[in-house]
Structure 1
Amino acid sequence: MTAATLSPLPEDKQALVTRLAEGLDTPALHWLSGYFAGVAVQRQGGGKSAAIEPAAATDTQTRLTVLYGSQTGNAKRIAEDLGRRATAAGLAVRIVRADAYVTRELKQERLLYVVISTQGDAEPPDDARAFVEFLSSSRAPKLDELHYAVLGLGDSSYPQFCAIGRQVDERLAALGGARLFSAGEADVDLESVSQPWLEHALQQAREQLKTATPLAKVTPLRTARNTPTWHREQPFAAPLLLNQRITGRDSDRDVRHLELSLEGSGLRYAPGDALGVWPTQAAALVEAILATTKLNGDAPVQAGGEERSLRLWLAERRELTQLTRPFFAAHAERSGDAALRALLEPVSRDALSERFSHWQVIDLLRRHPADWTPESLVAALRPLAPRLYSIASSQSVVGDEVHLTLSHVDYALDGEARWGAASRYLAHRAEGETVPVFIEANERFHLPADERDIIMIGPGTGVAPFRAFVQERAERGASGRNWLLFGNPHFHSDFLYQTEWQQALKNSQLHRIDLAFSRDQAEKIYVQHRLREQGRDLYEWLDSGAHLYVCGDATRMAKDVHKTLIDIVAEHSARTAEDAETWLNQLIQQGRYARDVY
Structure 2
Amino acid sequence: YEFDLADSGITYTAGDALAVLPVNDPELVSAILACLDLDGALAAEESTLFETVLKTREIRTPGKDLIAAVAEASPDGGLADIVRRDDRDALDSFLWGRDILDLLEENPSARFTADELLGLLRPLQSRQYSISSSPLASPDRIHLTVASVRHSPEPGARSHGGVCSTYLSDRIADGDLTGIWLQPNNAFSVPEDADRPVIMVGPGTGIAPFRGFLHERAEAGATGGNWLFFGDQHRATDYIYEDELTDLEEKGVLTKLSLAFSRDQAEKVYVQTRMREEAEELYRWLEDGAYFYVCGDASRMAKDVETALLDVIAEQSGGSENAALEYLATLKKEKRYVRDVY
Tell whether the structures are fold-level matches, with TM greater than 0.5: yes
8 Å contact from structure 2 (residues 133, 212) kept in 1: yes
Which of residues 443, 448, 457 in structure 1 aligns to 2:191?
448
8 Å contact from structure 2 (residues 232, 262) kept in 1: yes
**1:433, distance to aligned residue in structure 2 (A):** 1.8
Q: Point out where structure 2 has 5 or more consecutive residues left out of the alignment.
A: none
Instruction: Note the alpha carbon deviations across 1:225-254, whole angstroms, 9 max, x for none.
Output: xxxxxxxxxxxxxxxxxxxxxxxxxxxxxx
Q: CA distance change for structure 1 residues 446 and 346 in 2, over 3 Å: closer, same or farther?
A: farther
Which of residues 258, 264, 273 in structure 2 aligns to 1:514?
258
Instruction: Note the alpha carbon deviations across 1:192-250, whole angstroms, 9 max, x for none.
Output: xxxxxxxxxxxxxxxxxxxxxxxxxxxxxxxxxxxxxxxxxxxxxxxxxxxxxxxxxxx
For 1:420-569, what aligned pairs fall within 5 Å after superposition?
420-428=162-170, 429-451=172-194, 452-569=196-313
1:558 and 1:278 map into 2 onto residues whose CA distance is 27
Which of residues 17, 20, 29 in structure 2 aligns to 1:286?
29
For 1:32-111, what aligned pairs fall within 5 Å after superposition?
none
Q: Is 2:148 aligned against 1:404?
A: no
Determine the structure 1 residue equivalent to 2:160. 418
8 Å contact from structure 2 (residues 97, 152) kept in 1: no
Q: CA distance change for structure 1 residues 564 and 325 in 2, over 3 Å: closer, same or farther?
A: farther
Equivalent position SS for 2:137? helix
Which of residues 353, 368, 373 in structure 1 aligns to 2:92?
353
Determine the structure 1 residue equivalent to 2:59. 320
Equivalent position SS for 1:520? coil
1:454 and 1:352 map into 2 onto residues whose CA distance is 42
8 Å contact from structure 1 (residues 337, 368) kept in 2: no
Determine the structure 2 residue equivalent to 1:329. 68
**1:301, distance to aligned residue in structure 2 (A):** 3.0
2:258 and 2:84 map into 1 onto residues whose CA distance is 45
2:232 and 2:133 map into 1 onto residues whose CA distance is 21
8 Å contact from structure 1 (residues 488, 495) kept in 2: yes
1:453 and 1:272 map into 2 onto residues whose CA distance is 17
8 Å contact from structure 1 (residues 570, 580) kept in 2: yes
**1:349, distance to aligned residue in structure 2 (A):** 2.8
8 Å contact from structure 2 (residues 4, 140) kept in 1: yes
1:344 and 1:562 map into 2 onto residues whose CA distance is 36
1:524 and 1:488 map into 2 onto residues whose CA distance is 11
8 Å contact from structure 1 (residues 335, 371) kept in 2: no
Mean Cα deviation higher: 479-488 or 320-329: 320-329
Equivalent position SS for 1:396? coil
Equivalent position SS for 2:96? helix
Equivalent position SS for 2:187? helix
Amino acid at match of 1:292: C
Amino acid at match of 1:259: E
**1:323, distance to aligned residue in structure 2 (A):** 2.6
Amino acid at match of 2:149: V
Instruction: Note the alpha carbon deviations across 1:83-141, whole angstroms, 9 max, x for none.
Output: xxxxxxxxxxxxxxxxxxxxxxxxxxxxxxxxxxxxxxxxxxxxxxxxxxxxxxxxxxx
8 Å contact from structure 2 (residues 71, 83) kept in 1: no
Q: CA distance change for structure 1 residues 547 and 346 in 2, over 3 Å: closer, same or farther?
A: farther
Structure with greater Cα Rg: 1
**1:402, distance to aligned residue in structure 2 (A):** 0.9
Task: Normalising by structure 2, report the TM-score.
Answer: 0.93
Instruction: Note the alpha carbon deviations across 1:380-418, whole angstroms, 9 max, x for none.
Output: 111001011111111111120111111011111241111
Instruction: Note the alpha carbon deviations across 1:139-198, whole angstroms, 9 max, x for none.
Output: xxxxxxxxxxxxxxxxxxxxxxxxxxxxxxxxxxxxxxxxxxxxxxxxxxxxxxxxxxxx
Q: Is 2:121 aligned against 1:381?
A: yes
**1:559, distance to aligned residue in structure 2 (A):** 1.6
Q: CA distance change for structure 1 residues 582 and 338 in 2, over 3 Å: closer, same or farther?
A: farther
8 Å contact from structure 1 (residues 455, 482) kept in 2: yes
8 Å contact from structure 2 (residues 75, 81) kept in 1: no
1:591 and 1:322 map into 2 onto residues whose CA distance is 36
Equivalent position SS for 1:443? coil
1:354 and 1:556 map into 2 onto residues whose CA distance is 18
Amino acid at match of 1:336: P
| Number of residue pairs matched by the alignment | 337
Equivalent position SS for 2:257? strand
Q: CA distance change for structure 1 residues 357 and 468 in 2, over 3 Å: closer, same or farther?
A: same
Amino acid at match of 2:167: Y
1:480 and 1:535 map into 2 onto residues whose CA distance is 19
Determine the structure 2 residue equivalent to 1:585. 329
Determine the structure 2 residue equivalent to 1:263. 6
8 Å contact from structure 2 (residues 77, 107) kept in 1: no
Equivalent position SS for 2:38? coil
1:510 and 1:360 map into 2 onto residues whose CA distance is 42
1:583 and 1:374 map into 2 onto residues whose CA distance is 58
Equivalent position SS for 1:331? helix
Instruction: Note the alpha carbon deviations across 1:288-321, whole angstroms, 9 max, x for none.
Output: 101111112122234xxxx332212210001111
**1:335, distance to aligned residue in structure 2 (A):** 2.7
1:491 and 1:558 map into 2 onto residues whose CA distance is 21
Which of residues 309, 315, 320 in structure 2 aligns to 1:571?
315
Amino acid at match of 2:124: L
8 Å contact from structure 1 (residues 394, 471) kept in 2: yes
**1:449, distance to aligned residue in structure 2 (A):** 1.0
1:353 and 1:570 map into 2 onto residues whose CA distance is 37
Determine the structure 2 residue equivalent to 1:298. 41
8 Å contact from structure 1 (residues 457, 549) kept in 2: yes
**1:345, distance to aligned residue in structure 2 (A):** 6.2
Equivalent position SS for 1:272? coil
2:53 and 2:165 map into 1 onto residues whose CA distance is 17
8 Å contact from structure 1 (residues 297, 309) kept in 2: yes
8 Å contact from structure 2 (residues 151, 159) kept in 1: yes
**1:517, distance to aligned residue in structure 2 (A):** 0.7
Which of residues 49, 59, 65 in structure 2 aligns to 1:310?
49
8 Å contact from structure 1 (residues 453, 547) kept in 2: yes
Amino acid at match of 2:121: L
Aligned-pair identity in percent equals 43
